[in-house]
Every structure is written in C-alpha cells, then in structure tokens.
Amino acid sequence: MNFGQIVTAMVTPFDAHGEIDFPATRNLIDHLIANGSDSLVVSGTTGESPTLTTEEKVKLFKFVVEVVNGRVPVIAGTGSNNTRESIELTMLAEDVGVDGIMLVTPYYNNPCQEGIYQHFKTIAAATSLPVMLYNVPGRTVVSIDVDTVVRLSAIPNIVSIKEASGNLEAMAKIIEQTPPGFSLYSGDDALTIPVLSIGGAGVVSVSSHVLGNEMQTMIRNFKIGNLQEAASDHRRLLPKMKALFAAPNPSPVKAALNLKGIPVGGVRLPMIPLNDEQLRSLEQALAFNEKVVASERGLALKWL
C-alpha cells in the first residue's frame, strides 16, 4: 500500500470533560486532509493511545474511517507490549475498515530480537492488513535491529517502518537490504529531507498538523531537483518543528491547533498543558498572524 509522503500522526481531540470530542475530530480530519496529509495514523502516541481504552480506540477508528470515506488511508495504532492484546485490537480495527495498522516496538518488557521478531510476525499473521512497524527506542528503550527489520520485511503484509531512532546509517541499511516494495518513513520531522535523500518514502509527522502544505512543498522541491529551494524550506521549517516539540508531545501541537482556531481540547494526564511562557514561545516560533492569535488565544487557554 502507498501511504504517501506525509503521514500525519493525528492528535485525539478531547472535550472540556476529557472525553473524545467527535465533532472536533471531524473538523480536524477535514483540516488535515486539506493541509497536506496523505494518510492518517489514529491512536498513535501523538493520539495519546496509552490513555485511551480499547472501547475508545475502536469507536475512534470507526468514526475516522467513516469521516475520511476513502479520501486517504487510515492507519490504526494497535501496537502494545502485549501480543495477544495487540492481535485483538488489530482484529477489531480490521473489522471497522481501517486501511493499515501501525505496531510499536514492545516497550517495558525489554524483549530480545527474536522476541521482537516473533511478536510482530504473530500479529501480522492474524490480519490481512498492511503493517507499518514503529521503531522509537527513545520511548521503548529496546530498538529493532536492522537484521530484524530485514527478516520482518520478508513477511508479505509487513510493508513499512516508521524509523524514529535518528540513526541514518541504520536507515540506509534497512532501505538497501529490504525488498523494493518495503518503505521507510522518518519518525522525526526534522529528518524528513535527510531521510528522503537516502531513499526514504516520507515522514510520519506531527508538525504536519500545522505545517503540512509547507512540508509538501519542501518534499516536492526535493523530488523535482530544486535542491536549494528544498534546503531553504528545510531550514525555515526547522525552528517551527523544534517549537512543536519544545514540551512533551502532543501538548505543543494541540496548543498550536487551538491557537489556529482548530479546537482539539487539552491533554489527558499524565500529559499536562503548556504553561503561559511555553504558549508565548510557541506563538512566536510559529509566527501566527497576530489577529488570529489575539482572537484565539482565549480559546486556547480555555481548552488548555
């Protein structure tokens, strides 16, 4: 399956009571598709998946599939450190019509490479959906070794990996040693162009919530050979991307969306909202139109 160039790891909107806000989710989906998202990841880390119940996740998957209505692929975050639980959630996600699943490396258990391989292999065998692996050792401690990724890429429906290790050498080896149909996506917004330059397919992005069309322009410039323009785009966007990760994700991007007049609410504990100083820094870094900030700041603070 072709997930496109920019896969947005979508936030989960909450209402004033901390429950999933489905009308706001509808609005967010339409915004993301109009703003350059080629695919959507639902209930990933950015979607605060650790705080969502299984029932909430399935309702969210179903709702997003219905609202998207085939406009872009919908990828369900169904990974965990419990293989059986991941299989059950994957089957429920498949039943409601998602287009693919994302499986994070098992965290906390600290499995060996053979355990990681068997975990992913077993889940993949339980579904006909295409599988995107997610390697993020900064959160899971354990990393998927290159050799393990190569082994997994031989499984027909394991078709992609989101690489958030920051290790370009390892990424280059994965791209070189996996089959032509296997794709690698940067898991770091700031590494989009470097990853494209070694043969990556694109980025699984958080910044695309607010910078999606600008990122699409950057990628387009790179792909058509306007390298100076792409490099300039990259340098211009880097401070904005950095600002969107100045506090633990997804607090900054939710604040940014609220400031832009796209209400997504606050975050669930143990995440906390930005403080006033952080909010001011975010406003300055993203250089929002002053009129927009003036009119929406109160709304943002209300949600946060």
Per-residue pLDDT of 234-275, as tens digits, reads 999 999 999 999 999 999 999 999 999 999 999 999 999 999
pLDDT score of 47: 98
Which tokens in the block code for residue 83? 């293989």
Q: Is the pLDDT of residue 9 over 50?
A: yes
**Angstrom distances, CA of residue 94 to CA of 38, 42, 70, 286:** 20, 13, 15, 37
Strand segments (E) across 262-302:
none
Q: Is the pLDDT of residue 297 over 70?
A: no
Query: In percent, how much of the chain has pLDDT > 90?
Result: 93
For all residues of the chain together, what is the average pLDDT? 95
The catalytic residue positions are: 134, 162
Per-residue pLDDT of 29-81, as tens digits, reads 999 999 999 999 999 999 999 999 999 999 999 999 999 999 999 999 999 99
Q: Is the pLDDT of residue 301 over 70?
A: no
Tokens 């872009």 found at: 72
**Angstrom distances, CA of residue 175 to CA of 46, 126, 170, 221:** 25, 26, 9, 22
Q: In the predicted model, what is the mean pLDDT of residues 141-156?
A: 98
pLDDT score of 290: 44
- Ordered domains of the chain (ranges, CATH): 6-229 (3.20.20.70)
Q: Are 11 and 266 in contact (CB under 8 A)?
A: no
DSSP assignment of 188-220, as one string? SGGGHHHHHHTT--EEEESTHHHHHHHHHHHHH
Q: In the predicted model, what is the mean pLDDT of residues 172-177?
A: 98
pLDDT score of 303: 42
Per-residue pLDDT of 96-124, as tens digits, reads 999 999 999 999 999 999 999 999 999 99
Which tokens in the block code for residue 157? 């429906």
Q: Is the pLDDT of residue 287 over 90?
A: no
